[in-house]
Amino acid sequence: MAAKGGTTPATYSPCQTTGKNKPPLFKEDWIRPDARGFHQCRPAFFRTGAVNAASGSAYAEFGNTKVIVSVFGPRESKKAMMYSDSGRLNCNVSYTTFATPVRGQGSDHKEYSSMLHKALEGAIILESFPKTTVDVFALVLESSGSDLPVVISCASLALADAGILMYDLVASVSVSCLGKNLIIDPISEEENCQDGSIMITCMPSRYEITQLTVTGEWSTPKINEGMQLCLDACAKLAKIMRTCLKESASDAQDDSS
């Protein structure tokens, strides 16, 4: 197709699809690139037991964002570490080289590992495994927006699958602000031109926020609205995660009987 015209360049550049096409924000009838409603999340899919070698693992797919998380442990902490009566949590988030439109762009997200750690540590009962470490390794197979919220939700499911004691499942959702509109669960195109974002990580049954980040300029009523939107979505997401866990548990029971 590209070779058709004499004026159009014959070379293929993947940048063109990601950078320039800003959606016309100020039109009233703006619709999202994937034709969702502003307050409609992408369909979420979860499956536990994705990796056999791990103590627990989960795979999550939100639209085109695909992540896999495996949990190892609790296993003995490294010898160099000092004694502690509570367990340790070690998190790492990495991207495949082909996750992003431009190869190897995933290394831009170095802070994700520590953010995943902070989001999870409040939910795990660390006292239940003294002297040991739980490793959480997340791999983003395909990045298409809202990567960190998907990683966090998937990681909590993997922890539950590994049988690590937790106060509650952790669900995470982000909201972007584009012009006057608040849109939930943004995709990459929307994230690239957002005017602000809120990411909330919470334990829905306890109604507690474990992690919260806000960027961009927000007025108090707007932040209120955004937080409420996130919290509602988190509650719904946790329900989906719970059904996934129940299904895998009943499957395991069927197999053993």
Partner 1 sequence: MVGLSLGEQHFIQGGIAQDLRCDGRKRLTYRPIYVETGIIPQANGSARVRIGATDVIASVKAELGKPSFMQPDKGKVLIHIDCSSTAEPAFEGRGGEELSSELSTALQRCLLGAKSGAGAGIDRSSLVVVEGKICWDLYIDGLVVSSDGNLLDALSAAIKAALSNTGIPSVKVTAGASSDEQPEVDISDEEFLQFDTSGVPVIVTLTKIGRHYIVDATPEEESQMNSAVSISINRKGHICGITKRGGAGLDPSVVLDMVSVAKYVSEQLMNKLDSEIASAEAEDGS
Strands of 196-203's sheet, edge to edge?
Answer: 181-184, 171-178, 196-203
Asked if 219 is part of the footprint of partner 1 (rule: CB under 8 A), the reply reads yes
Near partner 1 by CB under 8 A: residue from 47, 118, 236, 242: 118
211: Cβ contacts below 8 Å, ≥ 6 apart:
115, 118, 119, 122, 152, 172, 199, 200, 201
**What is the 8-class DSSP label of residue 200?**
E
Cβ neighbours, 10 Å, residue 157? 30
Residue with tokens 């070379």: 11
One-character DSSP codes across 14-29: THHHHSS----TT-TT
The footprint of partner 1 on residues 221-250 (CB under 8 A) is: 223-224, 227, 231
Check residue 19 for interaction with partner 1 (CB under 8 A). yes
> Contacting partner 1 (CB under 8 A), which of 101, 105, 196, 240?
196
Q: Which one-letter DSSP state was computed for residue 179?
A: T
- 123: contact with partner 1 by CB under 8 A: yes
CA distance 110 to 94: 9
CB atoms within 10 A of CB 224: 11
Residue 209 interacts with partner 1 (CB under 8 A)? yes
Stretch that binds partner 1, among 34-42, 136-144, 150-158, 196-204 (CB under 8 A): 196-204
For the sheet with 88-95, list strands across it.
44-48, 56-62, 65-76, 132-142, 88-95
* Residue of the chain from 171, 218, 241, 244 that contacts partner 1 (CB under 8 A): 218
Nearer to partner 1, 136 or 203 (CB): 203
Distance CA 182, CA 50 (A): 34
Report the residue from 34, 135, 142, 208 that binds partner 1 according to the rule CB under 8 A: 208
Element (H, E) at 121: helix 112-121
What mask, x for binding partner 1 by CB under 8 A, covers residues 157 to 186? --------------------x---------
Is residue 27 involved in binding partner 1 (CB under 8 A)? no
Total residues contacting partner 1 (rule CB under 8 A)? 38
Return the number of the residue (23 or 49) whose C-beta is nearest partner 1: 23
Candidate list 121, 142, 225, 232; residue touching partner 1; CB under 8 A: 121
The contact set with partner 1 (CB under 8 A) reads 15, 19, 110-111, 114, 118, 121-123, 177, 191-197, 202-203, 206-220, 223-224, 227, 231
